[in-house]
Amino acid sequence: MTILFISDLHLSDDRPEKLDLFYQFLSGAAQDAEALYILGDLFEALVGDDDNSSPNPEIFKALSALTASGADLFVMAGNRDFLMGKEFEKKTGAVLLPDPHVIDLYGEKTLLMHGDLLCTKDVDYLKFRMMVRNPEWQQQFLSKPLPERLAIAQQMRAASKEAMQDKIPVIMDTEQETVEKYLRDNKITKLIHGHTHRPAVHDFLLDGNTARRTVLGDWYQNENVLICDKKEQQLTSIYDLIS
């Protein structure tokens, strides 16, 4: 059996080929796995558990079919879908994870994160993150009618794209000191995360011990999955699993 990790799919009707790829993955390789972890930004945008705009209902249905097959599904919120809640869990059978979260991965403690908390040079974004993760802000936002929430989300995405054009790439990447702090605080040497859209495996020394940070790719152009079993961990193309 294997445990699979994916992140940053950003699913939407704008990219139907990625939706089809995701559904193929869920009905095949994911059902054969012991568990699937989705570490944030499954959706391009989700404005609440009641967000029934396309393609969300089909995504919920596909996730529910996966958990009904017996596979365990764990989902972490990203910066595009941080409003998932209890109804999302009921609709899909998924378990929502806090960020960060520690799991036992075949006997080795591993830290899971979406990854945005590691990008500490992006001060403006972290201020925005703090605001929208505040329970009071979320309660006020979710009390608005769905069409209004969708319109606000669209405005936020447009503003985000504009702001990113003025940021140099290094600002939006992880800070090594921050990575090391999270690992030390959790007494762990293994980290898996997404968010940066820079898939890679980084090995480094942490206080004299070998540490590893595995970065999951986005599904805009990388479409990869981290496959873990008792012997190894391999970052590979999703196409290798559905061919």
Query: What pLDDT does residue 169 have?
Result: 57
Averaged pLDDT, 15-20 = 96
Say whether pLDDT at 41 is over 90. yes
pLDDT tens profile 133-158: 999 999 999 999 999 999 999 888 88
Q: Residue 97 pairs with which residues in a beta bridge?
A: 76
Q: 8-12, 68-72, 110-114, 163-167 — which is least confidently predicted?
A: 163-167
* pLDDT exceeds 90 at position 46: yes
- 3-class secondary structure, 45: coil
Using the predicted structure, report yes or no on whether residue 224 has a pLDDT greater than 60. yes
User: What CA–CA distance (Å, rounded) separates 93 from 64?
Assistant: 6
Please state the pTM of the whole predicted model: 0.95
pLDDT band for position 94 (cuts 50, 70, 90):
very high
Annotated domain spans of the chain: 3-242
Architecture of the domain defined by 3-242: 4-Layer Sandwich (3.60)
- Mean pLDDT on 225-231: 96
Q: What is the pLDDT of residues 96-136, one digit of tens each?
A: 999 999 999 999 999 999 999 999 999 988 999 999 999 99
pLDDT in tens, 164-223: 665 555 556 899 999 999 999 999 999 999 999 999 999 999 999 999 999 999 999 889
Burial 69-97 (b: 16+ CB within 10 A, else e): eebebbbbbbbbbbbbeeebbebbbbebb
Contact 111, 211 (CB under 8 A): no
Residue 59 near residue 176 (C-beta atoms within 8 A):
no
Q: Can you give the pLDDT at residue 97?
A: 98
Burial of 129 (0-12, 13-18, 19+ CB in 10 A): middle
Q: Is the bond leading into 100 cis (omega within 30 degrees of zero)? A: yes
Residue 189 near residue 211 (C-beta atoms within 8 A): yes
pLDDT score, position 181? 98
For 243, half-sphere exposure in the C-beta direction (CA atoms, 13 angstrom radius) is 5
